[in-house]
Amino acid sequence: MTRQQILERILSEKLVAIIRLKRDTYVQEVVKNIINGGIPIVEITSNTPNFKEEISKARESFPEAVIGAGTIFTKQLAIDAIEAGAQYLVTPSVNTDIISIAHSNNIPVIMGCLTPTEIAVAVEHKADIIKLFPAGNFGIDYFKTVKAPFSDAKIFAVGGVSANNIGEWVKAGAAGFGLGGSIYPSSLDSIEECLSITKNAKNMVETLKDAFS
């Protein structure tokens, strides 16, 4: 897929499942259950052990999904992720070098921003999606305020989004969401805990559909 095709898929699905685990034991099981739950856009973070290998495995095992790399904040991490097969990059902060690296490899960037200045820099350098992070700590009113001057930007809310409040974020104008703790526990430590992920993912997908209907 081209950068534009990947971007369109992400914007269409509206949900990015963020996988950040302390051990790599259950990464592929989590990926499988998230996809089975109806979320085919998956981000494996660079601070998940062996994240490059896990991206490569996921690309091979789940060709119908779109597998990206998260917590990419240096040029080397961007290069490593792309070499592993990442189809998009997600940053926690603004680094315009990462935009250049991603675009030269024909993949999009979801760039982490918080302030209007950071959003302006990311937009000027053609970040494909803005990730307002940590959205939950600053709240929906803050989101509305910073979005107002950037009405054309596609802004995802990441951090603190759950099935209980996702409808309010949709009303505020969020184009999509990054999800982690709302679909699986960060302390995931058993196959049994993985089993609830499919149900939680399905619930988020259905809740989002209702919010946009």
Q: How many residues does the chain have?
A: 213
Give per-residue pLDDT as tens, 77-114: 999 999 999 999 999 999 999 999 999 999 999 999 99
Identify the pLDDT of residue 17. 97
Domain boundary assignment for the chain: 3-212
127's CB contacts (< 8 A; 6+ apart) are 99, 109, 110, 111
Cβ proximity of 194 and 26 under 8 Å: yes
Q: In sequence order, what E strands does the chain have?
A: 15-19, 41-45, 66-70, 89-90, 109-113, 129-132, 155-158, 176-179
Q: What CATH architecture does domain 3-212 belong to?
A: Alpha-Beta Barrel (3.20)
The pLDDT tens digits for 175-206 are 999 999 889 887 777 777 788 999 999 999 99
User: Is 176:16 a contact under the CB 8 Å cutoff?
Assistant: yes
Least confident of 115-119, 143-147, 160-164, 190-194: 190-194
Is the pTM higher than 0.95?
A: yes
Angle ∠(36,40,44) on CA atoms, nearest 5: 105
DSSP-derived 3-state class of residue 66: strand
Q: Packing angle between helix 75-84 and helix 51-61, nearest 10 degrees?
A: 30
CA distances from 99 to 13, 123, 126, 206 (A): 22, 11, 8, 32
Active site residues: 43, 131
pLDDT tens figures, 157-169: 999 999 999 999 9
151 class by beta-carbon count within 10 Å (0-12 exposed, 13-18 middle, 19+ buried)? exposed
* Nearest-angstrom CA–CA distance, 182 and 196: 11
